[in-house]
Amino acid sequence: MKIIVDAMGGDNAPLEIIKGAVAAVEELKAEIILVGNGEEILRCIQKLGMNNIP
């Protein structure tokens, strides 16, 4: 299953949105596609220590 998520929408975005997306991947084995400000999304992913994400 693919899920597309607006990483920039919502309170405390994008960090909290990305945390939720990671939880969905782990729990649902879903493929999550994050959309929004790519640089900010990558910064948050690196902040969470997940550097091996495609």
pLDDT at 53 over 80: no
Q: Are 48 and 20 in contact (CB under 8 A)?
A: no
Note the pLDDT of residue 50. 85
DSSP-assigned letter for residue 52? -
What token pair was written down for 27? 């729990």
E runs forming strands in 7-53: 31-35
Q: Is the pLDDT of residue 34 over 80?
A: yes
The predicted model scores a pTM of 0.85
